[in-house]
Amino acid sequence: SISALGLTRLGAVSLECPPIGMESHRIEDNQIRASSMLRHGLGAQRGRLNMQAGATEDDYFDGAWCAEDDAQRQWIEIDTRRTTKFTGVITQGRDSSIHDDFVTSFFVGFSNDSQTWTMYTNGYEEMTFHGNVDKDTPVLSELPEPVVARFIRVYPLTWNGSLCLRLEVLGCPMSPVHSYYTQNEVVTTDNLDFRHHSYKDMRQLMKVVNEECPTITRTYSLGKSSRGLKIYAMEISDNPGDHELGEPEFRYTAGIHGNEVLGRELLLLLMQYLCREYRDGNPRVRSLVQDTRIHLVPFAEPRWLRGGSADGGWGSGRMGGWTLGWWV
């Protein structure tokens, strides 16, 4: 029930609540996520009310969120980052001159932690809300009784064409945003391996992270340093090893000069953090992993980790430390 999950259903008579900011972009992109997307131009961030498609149909700025696979249960989720009294949902179909896609019915769910969800019911079963009859006209579905929670999900039930949706949510804030950081943030209880890592330690740690999160990590070699040591990298992505068209990719490189310890330790900590927070269900980390391909290179010049040299680490031939240019 709603009360069992710490959510509150208020009486039917309540003050009118305004849009929470999907259309106005007061709700930021990283507060919106979805179960899947048809392609990157149809991601969750495109599911804003009155979102317009790009000048060229089917480009990277299309006019709705569209799900990848119609066969499974799909959803789009909004994190208000505060306790909010939800009073209604406004839905709209896909902005398109060639597609006729819109959701005709849906369920609504609520959560305080993005982990445990309760569906809105009519007292007997999950309540079906009637959606759109065309792709352009917004339709307001009011909640008979408002619900107080932090997260809201819309679960499309039936649709015309492809499963595509634009929406706005009506809600009144019940707490300041800063309470999100102090009360509701999903934090890890694991201890990170914070210490100086030798080359051997680094390889072992990357192996452990890969074993802990095999579905989102991949370790590979960029080549070898001037002394024959492999330069390892870790990819973190929801589809490791696959280049997804339109997905942004970032590579973070540390240890270019060998003795620059802080950078490589931060990257080793980052890979542990992303793995464990993803596994623990941190919604922000899950969104980051699902929407970005990340490459971490903790040791770009690993040869100095196996032993120092008399001149403080540069070794014979002071340009020898610039081996990064030999493999980039």
Instruction: Spell out the domains of the chain, with CATH numbers in brackets.
Output: 3-182 (2.60.120.260), 199-327 (3.40.630.10)
CB atoms within 10 A of CB 304: 22
Residue 182 has a pLDDT of: 41
- Each residue's pLDDT tens digit, 147-179: 999 999 999 999 999 999 999 999 999 987 644
Rounded to two decimals, the pTM is 0.57
Looking at residue 220, what is its pLDDT? 93
Kind and range of the H or E element at 296? strand 293-297
What pLDDT score was predicted for residue 303? Answer: 56
CB 104 within 8 A of CB 133: yes
Report pLDDT for 158: 94
pLDDT of residue 318: 37
The whole-chain average pLDDT of the chain stands at: 82
Residues 12-42 as b or e (16 or more Cβ within 10 Å = b): eeeeebebbbbbeeebeeebbbbbbbbebbb
**What value, to the nearest 5°, has the Cα angle with vertex 228 and ends 222 and 233?**
25
Closest CA to 1 of 143, 119, 142: 119
Question: What was the pLDDT predicted at 2?
Answer: 45
Q: Of how many residues is the chain composed?
A: 328
What are the 10-residue block averages of pLDDT along the chain, 328 residues in total?
46 67 92 90 93 74 86 90 95 93 97 93 94 96 95 96 96 72 44 76 91 93 84 93 89 77 87 88 85 90 51 37 39
Of the candidates 294, 81, 30, which has an alpha carbon nearest to the alpha carbon of residue 186? 81
